[in-house]
Amino acid sequence: MRGLRHRLRALRQLHGVAELLLLVRLGAFATAVPWLMRLPLTRLSTLLTRPAGTGHPAASEIERLDRLVSLAPRVAHPVVRSGCLTRGVTLFWFLRRAGLDVELAFGLDAGQDRAIDGHCWLSLGGEPFLEKRDPRSQFAEIYRLPLRA
């Protein structure tokens, strides 16, 4: 029962039917992320990367996409997974289609105890974008989408 209440509380954060429909689209895409990440890197880049449009989405649209991508796992767990991979790939897809020229960086950290940890993050103009703190101090970037020729 707690799960249902949690989901309903999350759904109350939506602002109308348009946001509900966008959440459904975001959730459907986010569901596919684990399977997309099994593809070879060149194929993944081809599927996910599209030239960013000439326009620039309003700050409110960027905030809305970020908020709804964060909301999707709360509403649709376990179908939509939480974590940086689902968040990063989903935001990369939707923000590029909204016209924002973001990149998606993937990094690794060997850590002190030699346990390997990974993270992915968006970059805009070479700087981390929509991150609470700069991941580059901890994670060494190993590749970035779109792939460079």
pLDDT, tens digit, 9 for 90 and up, residues 1-53:
457 676 667 667 767 888 889 988 999 999 999 999 999 988 999 889 877 66
Average confidence (pLDDT) over 106-133? 87
Q: Are 65 and 13 in contact (CB under 8 A)?
A: no
Q: pTM for this structure?
A: 0.87
Alpha-carbon distance 60 to 123, whole Å? 18
Domain count across the chain: 1
Strands (E), the chain: 103-109, 117-124, 127-129, 140-145
Give the structural domain span for 70.
2-145
